[in-house]
Amino acid sequence: MAYIITALCVDCKDTACADVCPVECIYEAKGPDSGVPNQLFIHPDECIDCTNCEPACPWKAIFEEDEVPALFSSAIELNKSIADDIGNYSVAKVIKGHSPTAEQVEDNFKKHGYSAN
């Protein structure tokens, strides 16, 4: 069962998850006009369920597939859809940036109507 990156990653795209992925199964769309949200995606057929990505994500945007909050259930199919269109994606480039503050993470949760509690 693969891990899923949800809308909590939209416009945040911190690549800490890609940095710890041993099989490079975290992808990004190749262009801004790709028709998909500006976020990262996990290729479900390549994910080995190592669990490294989930705690590495500073935005708390990654969930095990069977634990994806109902609010983000569409992310499951979105992540799976890249397998059928892999030519429009590339392995996410690891870019070292700053980690968000706890307040920024909470504001991002609120923006999406999500509560981790």
The answer to the question of residue 115 being in a domain is: no
At 12 the pLDDT is: 85
Tokens 């799976």 locate to 80
Instruction: State which residues form the domain around 43.
Output: 3-105
The answer to the question of residue 110 being in a domain is: no
Q: Considering its fold, how many domains does the chain have in total?
A: 1
Closest CA to 5 of 48, 42, 35: 42
The answer to the question of residue 67 being in a domain is: yes
CATH value at residue 11: 3.30.70.20
Closest CA to 58 of 27, 107, 21, 98: 98
> DSSP labels for 29-63?
ESSTTSSS-SSEEE-TTT------HHHH-TT--EE
Query: How confident is residue 95, by pLDDT bands cut at 50, 70 and 90?
Result: confident
User: pTM value?
Assistant: 0.92
More confidently predicted of 32 and 101: 101
**Section 92-104 average pLDDT:** 88
Query: How confident is residue 30, by pLDDT bands cut at 50, 70 and 90?
Result: confident
Note the pLDDT tens digit of each residue in 34-86: 788 899 999 999 999 999 999 999 999 999 999 999 999 999 999 999 888 89
The answer to the question of residue 111 being in a domain is: no
Nearest-angstrom CA–CA distance, 97 and 105? 15
Tokens of 103: 């307040």
